Amino acid sequence: MKTSRRVVLAGLLASAATGALAGAPLTSLHPKPRGQRKAQSIKRRHTQPGLARIIDEAGLSGKQSIVVADVASGKILEFSGTNTKLPPASVTKSITALYALHNLGPDYRFTTRLIGTGPVVSGVLQGDLILAGGGDPNLDTDGLAELADQLKAKGVRKITGKFKTYAGALPYQRVIDPKQPDHVGYNPAISGLNLNFNRVYFEWKRAGEGYTVAMDARTERFRPTVRGIRMSIVNREGPLFTYKNGGETEYWTVMRKALGKGGGRWLPVRDTAGYAGEVFRSIAAQYGISLPKPVDKKAAPKGTVLAQENSGRMWAVLRAMMKYSTNLTAEISGLTTTRKRGAKAKTLSASGKEMTNWAHKAYGISGAKFVDHSGLGDASRVSAGQMTKVLVKSGWNGALRPVLKEIPLVNSKNKKAPIEGVRVVAKTGTLNFASALSGYVDCPNGRKLAFSIFTADMGKRGKISKAQRERPEGGRSWGKRSRRMQQKLLRRWALEYGV
């Protein structure tokens, strides 16, 4: 499978966690293009407000931890709350990327296989066929089609035994964070067999006085119907969605008033192996291969590999993870790394502890704590001083900086306002009433800066009910103020230390 297609799909699916699809069901909106202002010349250096003034003007409740340092010398240039430990949110993914790159290597690939337990005779596999996952976080319906195509090329048209799915390469996790609402796509299940980021697409269309609904596993080439996940439209005032696991079938309901004329959104899948098995069976039928209903296989499969699908290189997988902030990719990369190191962690928290210990030894950040690999759990703690220490020790030419995302400089109206010769690459992090940004600044005078900006109001966050987690009152405006402060700090540092 081509990495470019996987990366595009990652972006499309990840958008459901942050854009219009993250809230109540809405039809797609097309944002208007924004004009880009001419880069501010470094010769027009204006007096920048000081660190304390920028923090004060932000008017943020809660606590903050801010550090900027010179990468070459490690010298701290400015700081506030250096040792205050706060939730790093998705900045955790920077630690996860280093954890994976150091232990798995940039060329590591995830593998998904079709394994037969007997010979192929006159188009018939004499035995079982096993869809064996290797943890690939980017496996999609098109990837299953490529496996089916390979199986067809081997002459297989049907099997005498059972069709099985194996997801035991990684420990199953029903959710990443149990505090999140059931319906948010950024909190999927995790296992050794994942498909479409463990999300199913719910689409609805107005039909007379009612609606037609569909649940499918769509990609660019295919749109197989998923019958093992069902949706019902219910007349009620709330909640927006309800979920129930009915054994072989997952049941959803949605509030009729929220639907409007039509639209769609990705919903999380909990039975990851059953989902992948059903979709592969449907795709295989389109290739002329008849398979029975899938059943789970607990033990590691043995037999002959009939087809194999490899992921892109770990470096590319992580770069897409950082760009789109895909939680599933982070958790799988972290769990796979922990297994590679020989630790038998059965939960995300146990694997997070293993990564914490590794980061302490590798980067000397004693006292930091990671409860997962994505940052979705708010019990993780790290200070700006500790995170900046990781950035400095990793180095300008180290493993982390190339996988970070470029962050455009903007003005108070959120319009692009670059500074000539200044480039920022970083990882963002956002939770309700918690915001983070950490990365590097390339200055026009050749100076390289490392920085971390963490803000959080855990008091307000702790009062949010589970039903309000998607859009709590006051959360959006608080986040905007934090991001505005981040931009002011970046402009200050670029002009103060980079000219």
Instruction: Give the pLDDT confidence of 14-46 residue by residue, as tens digits.
Output: 333 333 222 233 232 233 333 444 555 555 455
Domain final residue, candidates 279, 311, 343: 311
Q: Give every strand in the sheet of 250-255, ordered side by side.
A: 229-234, 250-255, 241-245
Average pLDDT rounded to a whole number, residues 437-461: 97
The token pair at 451 is 């920085």
81 neighbors 64 (Cβ within 8 angstroms) = yes
Q: How far apart, in whole angstroms, are the C-alpha atoms of residue 249 and residue 341?
A: 36
Q: CA-to-CA distance for 151 and 145, rounded, in angstroms?
A: 10
- Domain end (from 278, 311, 344): 311
In whole angstroms, give the CA distance from residue 79 to residue 51: 8
Instruction: State how far Cα 453 lies from the chain centre.
Output: 21
Instruction: Tell whether 61 and 13 lie within a shared domain.
Output: no
Whether residues 96 and 243 share a domain: the answer is: no
Q: What is the mean pLDDT of the chain?
A: 91
Q: Let me know whether 382 and 256 are in one domain.
A: no
Residue 105 confidence (pLDDT): 98
Give the CATH number, domain containing residue 4.
Answer: 3.50.80.20
In terms of domains, do 128 and 3 share one?
yes
Q: Report percent pLDDT > 70 for the chain.
A: 91
Sign of the alpha-carbon torsion through 191, 279, 165, 308:
negative
Q: Which residues of 128-152 are buried (b: 16+ CB within 10 A; e: fewer)?
A: bbbbbbbbbbbbbbbbbbbbbebbb
Whether residues 74 and 178 share a domain: the answer is: no
Tokens read off for 264: 């769609």
Between helices 272-286 and 141-153, what is the axis angle to 10°? 50
| CATH number, domain containing residue 464 | 3.40.710.10
Regarding whether 455 and 356 lie in a shared domain, the answer is yes
Query: Which of 311, 330, 363 represents a domain boundary (last residue)?
Result: 311
Same domain, 294 and 374: no
Angle at 21 between CA 17 and CA 26, to 5 degrees: 170
69 and 117 in a single domain? The answer is: no
Q: What's residue 414's pLDDT?
A: 87
Written as one letter, the residue type at 340 is K
Q: pLDDT tens-digit profile of 185-225?
A: 999 999 999 999 999 999 999 999 899 999 999 998 999 99
Region 395-400 average pLDDT: 97
Count of the separate structural domains present in the chain:
2
* Same-domain status, 366 and 446: yes
In a shared domain, residues 346 and 397: yes
pLDDT in tens, 308-359: 999 999 999 999 999 999 999 999 999 999 999 999 899 999 999 999 999 9
> DSSP class of residue 344?
-
Residue with tokens 């149990």, as numbered in its chain:
178
Residues 213 and 237 in one domain: yes
Q: Which residues have a Cβ under 8 Å from the Cβ of 178 and sit 6 or more positions away?
A: none
What range defines the domain where residue 400 resides?
Answer: 32-106+314-497
* Alpha helices by DSSP H, 217-313: 272-286
Q: What is the pLDDT at residue 41? A: 56
Residue range 172-178: mean pLDDT, rounded: 97
Q: What is the pLDDT of residue 46?
A: 54
Same domain, 40 and 19: no
Selected residue with higher pLDDT from 39 and 111: 111
**What mean pLDDT do residues 68-81 have?**
97
